[in-house]
Structure 1
Amino acid sequence: MANDLQVNTQNAGRFEKDLLGEARVPAEAYYGIQTQRACANFDLSGVRLYHFPALIKAMAMVKLACARANRSLDLLDEDRALAIEAAVNEILQGQYHREFVVDMIQGGAGTSTNMNANEVIANIALEKLGFAKGEYAELHPNNHVNMSQSTNDAYPTAVRLSILLKHGDLVHSLASLRDAFAAKAEEFRDIIKMGRTQLQDAVPMTLGQEFQSFATTLGEDIERIAGLSELLKEINLGGTAIGTGINTDPEYARLAVNNLSEISGFEFKRATDLVEASSDMGAFVLFSSMLKRLAVKLSKISNDLRMLSMGPRCGLNEINLPPQQPGSSIMPGKINPVIPEAVNQVAYQVIGNDMAVTMAAEAGQLQLNAMEPLIAYNVLESIRMLTQSMDMLKNRCVRDITANRERCQELVDQSIGIITAVVPYIGYENSSRIAKEALASGRGVLELIRDEQLMSEEDLQRVLSPAYMIRPQRRQNKN
């Protein structure tokens, strides 16, 4: 993008000035000189602000909330305030997003993002007022759009709001995936299979119980993610540079926060200690760690799906994952579990993103954390990837999973693990001996118990019935 901008500046354009001097900006661009400098400086990730529409909309909402507060205090005249509002409304409708061109990873604690927003809004507003782009004497990015603000309160507030804007999509996808697993649990409720611990045969269970455990573990995170989102509603808007509120009216912070709540639909509250809130990244650390927890769960579930479907002839093959694409360029007929594999990879990326968030949060110094752009990028990217991967897992895998009932029963019948069910009746020592002999001889556990007449056939059938093995049962003490 930076190279493209350098090429474009050779064409006819307008000249703009800033602290460092004068430069040509493309005539058609709604961004200005500071955005252009940032693009030249930060060609890092290749991921631009416009890749995250929620962040652009959040920045626009913050600017609108501040403009309304300044208008209420007679600090911003009505014509400019209405022009800024009209510009913001068009951005909120999805227009001009391609003008937000700064790299998500940038130096300056988000100043480049803030100025990108200030310049785009200013130039749109200028055209609303009948002026040309760049005529900043009439409406200025700093003096008017950024009035009563600093990057250090406007940007963190927008980042928090952008996460809240995407939070609903994340929770919806999570709930939908949970429901898909729950539906499969009901479908598989009467299919007996072997449970396993440490990859070894354990005791019988139903395939429905296994899938219900997937649904339950995902369901636990819905409420927790929702609860952590409340932490993001405490903002430092009105604190300006370091939380002291310099260059603001005493009523400004209250008005701006109330306006943002009304505009966004989220109940924001001003932090009680704005100086502390200007440098603290604790809410992001907690939220990111929750995303990591969800990623770990999704990865574990994906591992299980891959293992349960392994084979089809030489593995467990208890379930069938829906085929999505040929699995090999050399082995005909091979189908790989590509959907769970992709979810695994998303999970690893999210776990890595959380580490980046942790390091960036730790790197704060004195009254500011200059690494917040990295935090914003990684948290928003984790939300995006988790949301899309859960939708993919539900739609392209879970919904069409089928069970191999006969194979599940076959493995139960062959397993030594069913010996656990009869321990209360024949004792641990007898059970251990029978299990050892079954392994050595290749004979079945039930066959050996019958040969030694350790249990009556009636008791054996009752104890080994599916209904008996998969839940607690009352029994008489025979010791």
Structure 2
Amino acid sequence: MSTFDHVRHEQDYVGAVQIPVDKLYGVNSVRGFENLSVSPLTIAHYPAFRDAFAQCKWAAALANLDSGVLGSAQAEAIVLACKDVIDGHCDDSLIVDLLEGSGGTSTNMNFNEVIANRAQIFMGHPAGSYEVVHPNDHVNCSQSTNDVYPAALKIATYTMLGGLIAEVEKLAVQFDGKAEQFADILHLGRTCLQDAQPMRLGQLFSGYASLTHRLATELVAVRDKLRTLPLGGTAIGTGFGAPAPYRAAAYRHLSSITGVQYLAPSNPFDAMQNMDVFSRVSAELRTCSASLAKIAADLTVLSSGPVAGLGELKLPEAQAGSSIMPGKVNPVLPMAMIQLSFAVIGNDVAVAQAVQYGQLEINHFEPVVASRVFDSIALLTQGIQRFREKCIAGIVADEARNRQHLTDSMAVATALVPKLGYAKVSKLARQSVNEGRSLLAIMQESQVMTEAEAMAAIEKASHPVFGA
């Protein structure tokens, strides 16, 4: 048996290529693979993106059937092929790089060829012949890369954000629980890393909870902006090449297929020209990562030690912290969360550049937007899950140490001002610092106030003065 028995041949204006007979891609996919492979990820790497493209092709086939430009057998075979793609059966034929630089054409053609060849096989014809289902004439009918790619990008991002939002909401609930758990623990509040005022440890965690709930709310809001798609605009927004009934039918079928009410844009030219929604999406991802990194940094400081640091919190011991220092345990989960934020912030810069450099009727830098936005969502979704499960859930407070740091600090002076006055308390506080002794001890020794009276004032100061 010769080598040629295992390959089929396809040709374009550049020349002929050999394609393994068990693969569903075609010559355009090969060109994209050969010319534009620069990263380790293919367009099948993120299932949400793969599925979104197939869903667009599925909806298009049904809309084309409704519009009378596809036969029922062709449409049915294309739908079956799209379902195969969604089920992951064609991943090894989706070979184009996610970061390809053809403005999305190589990606679109890879899907077109795979779906066409799978449909051909369903109809009893060999792959590569394109006798009854052609990648351009049938699978890509009434479409352009310029409307399908950004539509699939929005659908995939919408889907992926659902998982991230769920993780952020779970983290917020976890912080709610910690706020309640630590509600009665006296804690030394700090500003500029200096002793400041008495508070409760639970109040600190309630702030984390409130922030995280807000992050989830903002992600929900920006996610909803992704439901407006450019599908139906074809190359530049005019809809040229698609029959009049196509667009409405495509959205109707797409909403049925996905279970999400996707919408046509009020201005199709705006929808083709601009990707500002991804600036907003990426900005929320950046804000989420930076906000959680701030919390992670707080936890790193509050758990520092165990002897020479603050040691007010004990984080779960995840793993050994040093290859040379025995017994050392590092705050690896908070550190990972902080490092993750660096990557997401970098991704946001790339997205901003790509959005800015769209030209005239389209933006041909969508692949880098896809690559960076998907990366940010995946990093945050996975990172937050581990942060929540392996770190936040197991945080324990050292109540005695929290209390000692507060009572030994001159920060209790603020709580005593209402009774003794600023000038007198300030003098005692400086004495405490200069002598290295507890302010409470100095006050009791000077018979200014008993320790019981001072603690009562501290307890009062650690409760909010504003109403509910």
TM tier relative to shorter chain: over 0.9
> Which of 282, 286, 290 is 2:284 aligned to?
290
> Are 1:183 and 2:167 counterparts?
no
Q: Which position in structure 2 is the counterpart of 1:214? A: 208
Q: List aligned pairs for 1:108-123, cutoff 5 A.
A: 108-123=102-117
Q: Which position in structure 2 is the counterpart of 1:6? A: none
> Are 1:364 and 2:380 counterparts?
no
Between 1:448-457 and 1:260-269, the stretch displaced more is 448-457
Separation of aligned partners in 1, 2:226 and 2:428: 59
Q: TM-score, normalised by structure 2?
A: 0.96
Separation of aligned partners in 2, 1:418 and 1:117: 67
Separation of aligned partners in 2, 1:11 and 1:360: 45
Q: What SS class does the counterpart of residue 289 from structure 1 fall into? A: helix
Q: List aligned pairs for 1:267-416, cutoff 5 A.
A: 267-416=261-410
**Given residue 165 of structure 2, which amino acid in structure 1 is its aligned partner?**
V
Q: Which position in structure 2 is the counterpart of 1:431? A: 425
Deviations 1:382-402 (A, max 9, x none): 111100001000111111111
> Are 1:45 and 2:33 counterparts?
no
Alpha-carbon deviation of 1:25? 1.4
Separation of aligned partners in 2, 1:190 and 1:10: 77
Q: What SS class does the counterpart of residue 307 from structure 1 fall into? A: helix
The 3 A distance-change label for structure 1 pair 345 and 12 is same
Separation of aligned partners in 2, 1:236 and 1:457: 70
Separation of aligned partners in 2, 1:419 and 1:50: 62
Deviations 1:225-276 (A, max 9, x none): 1111121111111100010111111111111112111111111111111111
Q: List aligned pairs for 1:30-179, cutoff 5 A.
A: 30-179=24-173
Q: Which position in structure 1 is the counterpart of 2:11? A: 17
Deviations 1:357-385 (A, max 9, x none): 00000001111111111011111111111
Q: What SS class does the counterpart of residue 44 from structure 2 fall into? A: helix
Alpha-carbon deviation of 1:468? 4.2
The 3 A distance-change label for structure 1 pair 11 and 410 is farther
**Given residue 338 of structure 1, which amino acid in structure 2 is its aligned partner?**
V
Alpha-carbon deviation of 1:452? 4.2
Q: Does the 8 Å contact 1:426/1:455 carry over to 2?
A: no
Q: Does the 8 Å contact 2:198/2:461 carry over to 1?
A: no
Alignment: residue pair count? 465
Q: What SS class does the counterpart of residue 346 from structure 1 fall into? A: helix
> Are 1:421 and 2:412 counterparts?
no
Q: What SS class does the counterpart of residue 235 from structure 1 fall into? A: coil
Separation of aligned partners in 2, 1:138 and 1:223: 49
> Are 1:257 and 2:251 counterparts?
yes
Separation of aligned partners in 2, 1:467 and 1:51: 56
Q: CA RMSD in A?
A: 1.7
The 3 A distance-change label for structure 1 pair 210 and 11 is farther
Separation of aligned partners in 2, 1:407 and 1:460: 18
Separation of aligned partners in 1, 2:24 and 2:451: 85
Separation of aligned partners in 1, 2:462 and 2:201: 13
The 3 A distance-change label for structure 1 pair 461 and 335 is closer
Separation of aligned partners in 1, 2:44 and 2:466: 59
Alpha-carbon deviation of 1:87? 0.8
Q: Which position in structure 1 is the counterpart of 2:462? A: 469
Structure 1 alignment gaps of length 5 or more? 1-8, 475-479
Separation of aligned partners in 1, 2:131 and 2:361: 33
Separation of aligned partners in 1, 2:179 and 2:88: 41
Separation of aligned partners in 1, 2:125 and 2:358: 41
Q: Does the 8 Å contact 2:187/2:199 carry over to 1?
A: yes
Q: What SS class does the counterpart of residue 433 from structure 1 fall into? A: helix
Separation of aligned partners in 1, 2:25 and 2:220: 36
Between 1:36-45 and 1:299-308, the stretch displaced more is 36-45
Deviations 1:43-89 (A, max 9, x none): 21211112101000000000011100000011001111000011111
Alpha-carbon deviation of 1:218? 0.5
Q: Does the 8 Å contact 2:199/2:461 carry over to 1?
A: no
**Given residue 236 of structure 1, which amino acid in structure 2 is its aligned partner?**
P
Alpha-carbon deviation of 1:303? 0.5
**Given residue 195 of structure 2, which amino acid in structure 1 is its aligned partner?**
D
**Given residue 376 of structure 1, which amino acid in structure 2 is its aligned partner?**
A
Separation of aligned partners in 2, 1:414 and 1:256: 69
Q: Which position in structure 2 is the counterpart of 1:477? A: none
Q: Does the 8 Å contact 2:333/2:391 carry over to 1?
A: yes
Q: Does the 8 Å contact 1:309/1:320 carry over to 2?
A: yes
